[in-house]
Amino acid sequence: MEKNSQNLYGNKLFWINKRIFDIILCLLLLFLLFITAVIPVFAQIKGVIVDSKNQPIPYVSIAVANENIGTTSEEDGSFILRISDTSKTILFSALGYEKYSAKASNIQKVILQETEYALDEVIISKRLDTKTKEIGETNSAISQAFDNGPKIDTKFFPFSDSYKKTKYLKKVSIITDNKVDGATIKLHFYSVGENGQPSEELLRKDVLLTLKIGVNKTWIDVSKYNLKFPQTGLFIGYEKLLIERNKLETQVKDSNTGNLKTKITYYPFVLYNFVDREFSYTFTGGNWIKNSKTDSANKPIKSKVYEPSLNILLSN
């Protein structure tokens, strides 16, 4: 009798344990299904960008349409893009070449066509370089560095009659926080469109700036371009290049697991000033995004925005 009781108890305990095990297994499977549904699986696409003569094109901006996801081509034209959906549209843009778009599943080799420019009338004017004027300084005491992604942040420089005697762009400065010696950044110069946003690029070649380690204000000479300050104003933007030369890998501890993992950071960081402006513009995902505030009458009002620390030195 006692033996039968033990068997019954043992069987009952077995079925209870089995039921608990089945419940735990079901919960685990549900959790795995949830994780699979929530966390996207990224595809790593490797490609190369060349011109019509099959020559590699470096520093091409590569962006997922309407998203802040992208990368930059290396000096040999190669690139790697991580994306969760290969049916998305990828945008390619580089100075001197026509813009191009294609599905992510079809970008293993991208051929960009050179832009055909109409020859401009050559006007030779004598530059004296006897006067200079620095513009763009702010009263902001706040500077902050951001890990900017695949986008272009701009600063607007309105025209002033006082620039007529120093109408040429001589130098441009930018303040950066950099931890990779020789890190490179790209500058863009835009005219102002009818809607007040950045429009056409004013130069046909990339303006690249190589930086030293540390927090520095670095000047680049642009006088060779003979660029006059437009009377409609000027936008200057910077683009971080997501390339191997700018990459820094560090080991950091995961706060959840305590394990070490590799953190990848692209330098330089650009310092921003926190200033009062009616608007600012950022180029991301193939579109210009206007950051602004309006009053009850829908008129623009000044508000605090972060603006990249860019200055211009003008000369005659």
pLDDT of residue 172: 98
Tell me, rounded to whole angstroms, the distance of Cα 3 from its chain centroid. 76
State pTM to two decimals.
0.84
Instruction: Please report the sign of the dihedral spanned by the C-alpha atoms of residue 3, residue 6, residue 12, residue 13.
Output: negative
**DSSP state, 161?**
G
Contacts for 116 with CB less than 8 Å, ≥ 6 apart = none
pLDDT of residue 222: 96
Would you call 171 exposed, middle or buried from its count of C-beta atoms within 10 A (0-12, 13-18, 19+)? Answer: middle
DSSP β-ladder status, 168-178 and 310-315: antiparallel
SS3 316: coil
CA-to-CA distance for 127 and 246, rounded, in angstroms? Answer: 36
pLDDT of residue 33: 63
The list of the chain residues with pLDDT below 50 reads: 39, 119, 121-123
pLDDT digits (tens, 9 = 90+) for 54-98: 999 999 999 999 999 999 999 999 999 999 899 999 999 999 999
pLDDT of residue 236: 98
Beta bridge partners of 70: 63
Q: Which position has the token pair 């419940």?
A: 23
